[in-house]
Amino acid sequence: MANTHFFFALTLPDELKKELYGRIEQLKTAFPFKKWLHPADYHITMAFLGHASESMRNEAAARVKQTLEKEAAFPLILDEIGTFGRNDYPRILWAGVEFEQRLFDVQKKVYQACLEAGFSLDPKPFKPHITLARKYNGEEAFSLQQASSLTGLESKRFLASAITLYQTHIGASPSYEPICSVQLQ
């Protein structure tokens, strides 16, 4: 269990996961990454907890549920792909969403609830994204412009309606197991 970690994330609708996965299929042959995520693992991380005891997880889950009990679901728009790390050999390939203040407000509530439960969280600013692949290892330099044109990712609207606590299973595919979810109104 020491290698297991936990995180809260915005749950993506299954239809969106399927559509996103279908759009990136062409990228797999054109851009070799060491690991392409299973579509069931697509999510937007709200708070990374790391290793956590059951009592701390339960406390965080109860606080997140309480803080979001009157929170309404809201629309988001998938709109771009991007990378983290070097432009020519990126560490992460991701899909992003258009700016929506409600997403940032909900993330702050989840983050604060986890702090109140006793977690030490990463203080980096929230950058909402859906990780698609990790560790580019192609012989040719990566081209974000070419990758963007291959995905044909145009504005895709979806409803943000649940926050889920996930547990990782390193080496498994899919890697993330939902533990509990909070449905937004």
Q: Are 60 and 113 in contact (CB under 8 A)?
A: yes
Total residue length of the chain: 185
Q: Is 129 a catalytic residue?
A: yes
Q: Are 46 and 107 in contact (CB under 8 A)?
A: yes
Q: Is 5 a catalytic residue?
A: no
- Residues near 112 by Cβ (< 8 Å), separated by ≥ 6? 67
Tell me the C-alpha distance between 73 and 78, whole Å.
16
Tell me which of 5, 51, 129, 169 is the catalytic residue: 129
Tell me the three state secondary structure of residue 71: coil
Task: From the candidates 38, 43, 51, 169, give the one annotated as an active-site residue.
Answer: 43
The DSSP bridge pattern shows strands 129-136 and 90-97 to be antiparallel
d(CA 111, CA 117): 10
Residues classed as catalytic: 43, 129
